[in-house]
Amino acid sequence: MSENKKTNIILFSGEYDKAMAAYIIANGAAAYDHDVTIFHTFWGLNALRKDEKLRPQKSFMEKIFGKMMPHGAKNLPLSKMNFAGIGPKMIKSVMKKHNAMPVEDLIDMAKEQDVTLLACTMTMDLLGIKQEELMDGLEYGGVAAYIAEGEDGAVNLFI
């Protein structure tokens, strides 16, 4: 019996279209019986933030970062053609017309397929993101945790 192949994705970007690409690839790989890990670091962590605005204990600078960053996958900007926030509404309308799944549903599907969603603890510390601000069902770790997952990867992507 052979081991499953591994697909590892670093999601560095905090844009809707790039998060969507990462989760489409992750779900596709999981459907092909790959063990999949998505390592969310820097702006990619915003895809994991809860939609509601919580008020955990934070320093002044952490509060500023928290206000500047989007809350949750559905609030991420586009990488191109953002048009002061109109772009995401336009692309979501087109996606709905074509029955394409929004990012938040792709994240739920990834969880259902046991994709490992790994939140970078170093970035969380730098940006002042607390565990209670992130969705449930995540794993937490730093670069060493990602490298342990990624060293045997058949596919390794940086998005």
For residues 129 and 159, give the distance between their C-alpha atoms in angstroms, rounded to a whole number: 21
- pLDDT digits over 27-84, tens only? 999 999 999 999 999 999 999 999 887 777 888 888 888 888 999 999 999 999 878 8
pTM: 0.91
Q: Is 1 contained in some domain?
A: no
The CATH number of whichever domain residue 138 belongs to comes to 3.40.1260.10
Q: How confident is the model at residue 1 (pLDDT cuts 50, 70, 90)?
A: very low
Domain that holds residue 63: 6-158
Compute the CA torsion angle 42, 47, 51, 54 (nearest 10 deg): -30
Asked whether the predicted pLDDT for residue 2 surpasses 60, the reply is no
- Tally the domains of the chain: 1
Q: Is 115 contained in some domain?
A: yes
pLDDT recorded at residue 131 = 95
- pLDDT digits over 129-156, tens only? 999 999 999 999 999 988 888 888 888 8
